[in-house]
Structure 1
């Protein structure tokens, strides 16, 4: 249940006695109580402060108590802050107006004079429900980052759902730009530790001197420049999840220290002799292939077994071509909203250009290409010439992978061009390619076209 101790409540009423009473009642119950006599100041407060619940009187200094002032401010605030719960404050004679306010978006109404117990229960109920909705929206937004209808991504999602509720240590493998960090976040959210801390550390970027201090903490005076106590990332993640990114890049000495902590399940900060017990779920990620990681000259096998109860392989974008349109449209929507270009889309040629490209930078490169195209576009349709790929990406590390992937790309591109040339007629495209219609359908399935 959501605690009112995290809630900020605002009450707007021209009656000073009402404001004083509600302030005294709510001050011990909520994080902050804001009271205001003048509704004209409402918007300036909402612009500066995250208000979780607003109580709004129906009548102010008007000579006639019509309630129209309250209705006016309700509509104005709902237009600007549609998700803000608003409770209307009314007198007995204003019940009809209160009902009208509900139809216009108010969450509830309170009749003056109210009972304190009922007021508190109403606040708790409204805040709990709005928090649940807010959390659900955040969950949907986070889940929407993981996009893919391809078979390989469906396998990833299936494994994620299976392992997330467990406490198993996870090793996420994949090239740079494939979204390993998104997979780690999703595992944490869906785990039993989802409401506990989630701490991410790029261990590959830590120097030998910073490694222990960053991960395990230190006491004041433990070394030069240690001017105050510092809590390490392991302790910050206690009872939650610790995500160690680029773990394949740490030295053998760092691996040995990490292994000791994982085996003992406690840490001792630098400059201290006090143990801190650990209760964490560990997720690691690396762009180093597992067969390379298994070379004991570079990485300890006993540490691999510690961090790799279950592994997840995140496929590169060139192995999930069918997801390119989905991802491109997703990023176009995000950046269209960001740069004030709503309903922006892609021409047929622009989408084909992206589908024919091998994306050495994976999803990250696609994301940046779409963002640049949205910025430069002057219409609602992105053209092929506006899709510019990164010149800094180097995809292939060995000749064998280069030849294999290029052959796959050649076949896929030939199929796409044949279908485009025949305006989507499969029979004519198959004839041009010198294969049967059934064979072409099998290849369409193979290449996720």
Structure 2
């Protein structure tokens, strides 16, 4: 069984023999090959079918060989289907006419009679261009929706804790530049949302932000996703694929969990960043690229450099500016604002508009342990909304085998000194460094807390 290419072809010529010959030949490679003797019917074909490639004769009137008929119908084709790739056909191999044809919007020029191998290569090249045009058009059509979704998502990029505001201020400054950004922080601290915030506030916001999660892809798939591949580049590469780098051209590329990138892939990425060009897998053709790179990881890349598992030169390339996203334990005062936002969102999603939570219950949420950070708080809020049986939510509705912060300290040690340090850190985090309130939380006076802070160097 032959392997058919994607792509619909229309052949227009006033010579029935040419039509039959071209159709029989191309039918071996393409499923849909339409033919038309009368160029006045081109409009009808384009209205009925999505045509990707048009093979168009240049002369339809006897005694004329100036190609004006072809130019006339070329304009009609591109008016109706601008993404169509037009190849002119003529028995007169005139170089001046060829140049004029290309300037008018055709993508190539073949003379009759043709050699099958050259003819097929020309059509295949046109088909690749058509596929690229379709993908870019789909991306363009979805861009408005994506932009709206991204803008809606970053509405939740909120908080007033000092640690969060400092990180956000850095992002606002770097967003207007083209500097590469490395986002650091534990899982669930909002690195993905931070990347969208930077992109939305950049000069590239009208272009896409393309994301690759390195943590869920094998080494082979990472390179294919990043660079794309040509048909036959490896087993199962049945057709050409445009990589994320190419899709991110003039936009932003977000590489999440970059610490999972293999050393060979790191070398290739470094080359792209240095030379601003790359090749698809299975191809030697270089493609120029213009991207803004944002990376994120919860790993210590500096330790990985020391261990030889991450390239130091790549680290210097990707961390022009570093931003560390604070843990939720470092921005406890933001919990009321975050809960209010998530509660409003999930109430609308699940049509539970009468749900509410009191400030007293929110205060209890501030004392709970959130090792999963903001993501855990978000999921806990969604779960509470889904399972709610009354209109008033309680802090206990958000719990999932979690324990009050004051009951078990972060330290797993039973050493009294370490436990005291852990309690003090928690109290200071809850009250954002307010010694008076933290001391009250701990059940000691303000001076006693000051002495302990000095003693432990906190």
- TM-score in same-fold range (> 0.5): yes
Taking the TM superposition and a 5 Å limit, the aligned residue runs for 1:347-426 are: 347-389=358-400, 406-409=422-425, 411-412=427-428
Cα separation, 2, equivalents of 1:302 and 1:431: 47
Match for residue 266 of structure 2?
255
Q: 1:155 aligns with which of 162, 166, 173?
A: 166
Match for residue 86 of structure 1?
none
Match for residue 433 of structure 1?
444
Shift of 1:407: 2.8
Match for residue 304 of structure 1?
315
Taking the TM superposition and a 5 Å limit, the aligned residue runs for 1:29-40 are: none
Say if 1:193 and 1:240, in contact at 8 Å, map to a contact too: yes
Q: Flag structure 2 segments of 5+ consecutive residues without an equivalent.
A: 1-143, 404-408
TM-score under structure 1 normalisation? 0.59
Cα separation, 2, equivalents of 1:436 and 1:408: 13
Match for residue 54 of structure 2?
none
Residues 1:397 and 1:185: Cα distance change in structure 2 (over 3 Å): farther
Give 3-state SS (helix, strand or coil) of 2:253's partner.
strand
Residues 1:301 and 1:261: Cα distance change in structure 2 (over 3 Å): same
TM-score under structure 2 normalisation? 0.58
Cα separation, 2, equivalents of 1:212 and 1:291: 23
Say if 2:253 and 2:293, in contact at 8 Å, map to a contact too: yes
How many pairs does the alignment contain?
A: 299
Q: 2:294 aligns with which of 283, 287, 293?
A: 283
Q: CA RMSD in A?
A: 3.8
Say if 1:255 and 1:300, in contact at 8 Å, map to a contact too: yes
Residues 1:414 and 1:279: Cα distance change in structure 2 (over 3 Å): closer
Residues 1:145 and 1:252: Cα distance change in structure 2 (over 3 Å): same
Taking the TM superposition and a 5 Å limit, the aligned residue runs for 1:131-150 are: 141-150=152-161
Taking the TM superposition and a 5 Å limit, the aligned residue runs for 1:324-339 are: 324-339=335-350
Say if 1:347 and 1:384, in contact at 8 Å, map to a contact too: no
Give 3-state SS (helix, strand or coil) of 1:433's partner.
coil
Say if 2:301 and 2:315, in contact at 8 Å, map to a contact too: no
Shift of 1:411: 3.4
Say if 2:333 and 2:431, in contact at 8 Å, map to a contact too: no
Shift of 1:293: 4.0
Q: 2:196 aligns with which of 185, 189, 198?
A: 185
| 1:344 equivalenced with 2:341 (yes/no) | no
Give 3-state SS (helix, strand or coil) of 1:288's partner.
coil
Residues 1:195 and 1:341: Cα distance change in structure 2 (over 3 Å): same
Q: Flag structure 1 segments of 5+ consecutive residues without an equivalent.
A: 1-132, 417-424
CA deviation profile, 1:356-380 (whole Å, cap 9, x unmatched) = 1231000010011111111222232
